[in-house]
Amino acid sequence: MPPRIALDTNVEIAIDPFLEDVIRFLAEHPDTALHLVGDRGIIQNSKNYPPLEDKIVSIVHAPERLSADEDTRSLVRRFRKHLNQSEDSISKALGLVINGLVDGVVSNGSTRPFIMAATSYRIHPNIRITPAYCNFPTGIPNKKNVAVCDVGANIKPNPLDILVNYLLLGQELANTDIEFPVIALLNIGEEKGKGGFYQLVHSFLERINLVGFYGNEEANKYIFNPRIHGLLCDAWVGNNLLKGSEGIHRMDVGNLMAINKELIEKDLLDPKVAQLQVKKLVEKVDLEGRNGAPILGTQYPLVLGHGSSPPYGALKIGYNYVQREINHEKIFELIEKHKEIKFIG
């Protein structure tokens, strides 16, 4: 069966470039059964809708876009009790996956409402806020990625939240055929006594003897550490790491293009070689491959994209993610096994 995806179109960027990216994605993944969820009139009035009309399954009309400022309790009540009566795009898309009409949801809309939607259908009550993760490229041959969690959900976790995220990320990495995932704590130094809050977290995780816990690792070293498969941090750190790395990558590409231009003008570099260098650098870093963060610990496959970015990268990640089976029972049992652990500061 082809992957069935609901795409939230009530986003920050204009609808024309948004749908242009959808066309690009469907050209590469024509087997996708895609439902666009958003304002029908805005979608159909886009200059890029006619080429899409016979390539999508449906438009699910959802004229409202949820605000990130909406009260938490109001959001939970909306997603749990009033889902079928809500006219916003996140509720409509969530209703599709809950009712089995799609396999998963991709949203480049408001981050906080989408996280609250995921949390409303968490697998275990000890998952206080469902975390998001994404993959970062490495400088190690034959090792493509390191997974970083959390990159957008919980900016003020407590040590028990970090423990739950450790269990969720470990299970996710195991599902990607990493037999013994090794996970480190992202910190300002490798020493146990570094990092304030992270010093407490390190002591806590070390005390309970978690299998695969590496200890601390620094941001400038994890990409070259062949032992580490995953990194844990709070969402404030993770989101800044994500956006900072994107900015540095764009700077590197710009600098390479400037250097190549200078060398070409001096007849020291073939223009075709220069073009290939830039292409290879962009492919190696795979910036678009980080424009989607699967949300862990929720009952349904949900992927969060950057609100100000086109959806191509998030759709690519969603295409693969919705086809994977989430072992709810195993995740529940894993967290249940650790639920009696208490943090003593």
Q: Do 85 and 109 reside in the same domain of the chain?
A: yes
Contact 6, 102 (CB under 8 A): yes
The enclosing domain of 229 has a CATH number of: 3.40.718.10
pLDDT > 60? residue 344: no
pLDDT at 143: 66
Of 221, 250, 279, the last residue of a domain is 250
| Strands in the chain per DSSP E | 4-8, 33-38, 58-61, 104-107, 133-140, 143-149, 183-186, 213-217, 230-232, 293-294, 302-304
Residue 232 CA to residue 214 CA, distance in Å, equals 11
Cis peptide before 8 (omega within 30 of 0): no
Q: Do 114 and 138 reside in the same domain of the chain?
A: no
Residue 166 CA to residue 229 CA, distance in Å, equals 12
Token code pair at residue 172: 């996710």
Token code pair at residue 289: 């491959």
Token code pair at residue 63: 């004229």
Please tell me the total count of domains within the chain. 2
Domain ranges, residue 88: 4-128+295-331
Q: Do 38 and 111 reside in the same domain of the chain?
A: yes
Q: Do 61 and 158 reside in the same domain of the chain?
A: no
Average pLDDT over every residue of 132-155 = 83
3-state secondary structure of 205: helix
Q: What pLDDT digit, counting tens, does each position of 49-98 carry?
A: 999 999 999 999 999 998 888 888 888 888 888 888 889 999 999 999 99
Of 185, 220, 250, the last residue of a domain is 250
Contact 133, 194 (CB under 8 A): no
Residue 323 CA to residue 4 CA, distance in Å, equals 9
Tell me the pTM: 0.91
Token code pair at residue 60: 């699910």
The enclosing domain of 48 has a CATH number of: 3.40.50.10950
pLDDT at 22: 96
Domain annotation covers residue 284: no
Domain annotation covers residue 306: yes
Instruction: List phi, psi (to 5°) of 148.
Output: -115, 130
